[in-house]
Amino acid sequence: MDWGVFFGHMKDFIRAVESIEAVNPDLQMLDVVKGLRKAAGFETNLIKQYLGDLSDAHDLVSDPSVTSYVNEVINHSLSELGKEKGVVLTLDGSNVALAPMLLGLEAGLQSTVQGLYPLSLTHNLVASFLHHVHNEQTTLSFGTKGFWDSISSPKVYTLSDLPSLATDALIIGGIDGFILGSEVSTSNHRERSLSDLLKSYYSHQPDAAGLDASPRLISQKRRMNFKKLVSFSLLKSQMVQALTVRPNLNETERKRLDDVINEGFDQFVHVYAVCPNIISRSQWGAAAFIGSPSYLSLPMPYLFIHHTYQPSKPCTTFDQCASDMRSMQRYHQQTNGWSDIGYSFVAGSDGNLYEGRGWNWVGAHTYGYNSKGYGVSFIGDYTSTLPIKSAMDMVRYDFTSCAVNSGGLSSSYSLYGHRQATSTDCPGNSFYREIQTWEHYQVKRYTNDLWDLLYLPGSDFAECIAITVQTLTVSVCFSALLYRVICLEDCGINNECNHLIVSLEISTCITCIGHNKCIINYF
């Protein structure tokens, strides 16, 4: 491998660690982690406070090109042009800054658990909030995301928004450092090699069963593990404590900083503990929106559930899901003639939610309701099977909580299957039966000015459907077919079969039960 060329994938960093371990076979994991830090020249007063100096660190034997690569890939920096260094792309689609990950891991290996919070998260968040107070027009308080020049061969990582001193990559790296440090401090993981630990965490590829059958300690389950291990009250108290020792702040600045800390911390919890991991458009390689988008008026009262049908197979890796997203967008733009991919968000079976038109743009997912609701689709055909449980839970619980808390979705939202709004089998028979058990599911469809229709559960109607007709023409959805039924205002009660419709060997009998009221029987 030519280490003279920078490689921005986690698997490349792991290969570098393997090559170092191969020529330093007697070193333990802690020795290698400290040796990497020494090779990168990574030492600050904060690090010394919790981890000590590097006087006892081993000088790792390695090829000079490997040492040069390690130095470049571990040291984090931001350029004025928005280029972020010290970041690698992982198999699950996350972007990880290596420095906070390795510091958290070293704190755990040294059993310096009190250093986990400041080394992995607290210091970077506090610095970012403080910087934002003095530069509110030109920075974000935290969490700036970015994108790679190439997903398959990543080399250059560029921020996609205003900068922050705690970028998304630094936070994700810090969360991983916190998780791995917590794990090695209380288990026998420290007996493993560093490369083995990193491979098991970052290189797991789910099989057809997806994350439901995957191990617990993998990067795809980062948010689940973080929520179980972290004390948010302790994290916040450490942040407040760190600010009390900040000199040269006048009363106005300190008050503003307190507000930024409180607001920023709540938003941090929202983004990294409440919401699912949302892969942005730039991360999955979206093409540009054609024309100018129309904007939603939030919050949305409706949430529509879809399946993609094509692609028909669930995607279980970031590479596969990102490819499916690009394929669907091409089809929607080039074949359907739409401005963009139609869905608001798309759920993969890889643990990620993919941004389509997102929180604010009007979609093209549910005819007649694109400006009134979000459309979330699951990659796959769920006519006779279900999405994996973790994917369903991600949308059922994490996405809806995220959407409600952020003001995107009304707290009293109504949830429907796509078929309840138009003539389609979507989201598939099996999946439609499942979502009827979800919170906020509504049997009764949205009432508009024309008609009010009560649907029975299931894909076909074995019993009668009562319809209150508010106009002479009413649309009746049966399976994937659309029928037009005329109910006469002056029909007599019990005057059965005013109209008989025969279509595709399915007969429909209309029974009048009162003024403007009929019963539709399928037989």
Residue 458 has pLDDT above 80, yes or no: no
pLDDT tens column, 383-410? 999 999 999 999 999 999 999 999 999 9
Share of the chain above pLDDT 90, in %: 72
Of residues 508 and 395, more confidence is placed in 395
In this predicted structure, what is the pLDDT of residue 247? 63
36-45, 82-91, 455-464: least confident range: 455-464
End-to-end CA distance of the chain: 69
Q: Which of 428, 209, 460, 420 shows the shortest CA–CA distance to 312?
A: 428
Of residues 386 and 187, more confidence is placed in 386
Residue 473 has pLDDT above 60, yes or no: no
Averaged pLDDT, 192-210? 92
Residue 157 has pLDDT above 90, yes or no: yes
Residue 495 has pLDDT above 50, yes or no: no
Residue 464 has pLDDT above 50, yes or no: no
Helix (H, G, I), strand (E, B) or coil at 17: helix
Gyration radius (Cα) of the chain, Å: 28
Residue 13 has pLDDT above 90, yes or no: yes
Q: Which of 344, 342, 339, 341 shows the shortest CA–CA distance to 409?
A: 344
Residue 11 has pLDDT above 50, yes or no: yes
Residue 510 has pLDDT above 60, yes or no: no
How are strands ordered across the β-sheet holding 465-469?
A: 451-453, 465-469, 517-522, 506-514, 496-503
Q: Which of 399, 437, 403, 390 shows the shortest CA–CA distance to 417?
A: 437
123-137, 244-258, 328-342: least confident range: 244-258
Show the tokens assigned to 268: 């941090």
Residue 270 has pLDDT above 60, yes or no: yes
pLDDT tens column, 335-380? 999 999 999 999 999 999 999 999 999 999 999 999 999 999 999 9
pLDDT band at 15; cut points 50, 70, 90: very high
- The dihedral through the CA atoms of 375, 381, 385, 391 has a sign that is negative
State the average pLDDT for the chain. Answer: 85
In this predicted structure, what is the pLDDT of residue 7? 81
**Total-model pTM:** 0.84
pLDDT band at 246; cut points 50, 70, 90: low
Helix (H, G, I), strand (E, B) or coil at 377: strand
In the DSSP assignment, the letter for residue 293 is -
Q: Count of CB atoms within 10 A of residue 2's CB?
A: 7
Specify the DSSP element, H or E, that contains 374. strand 373-378
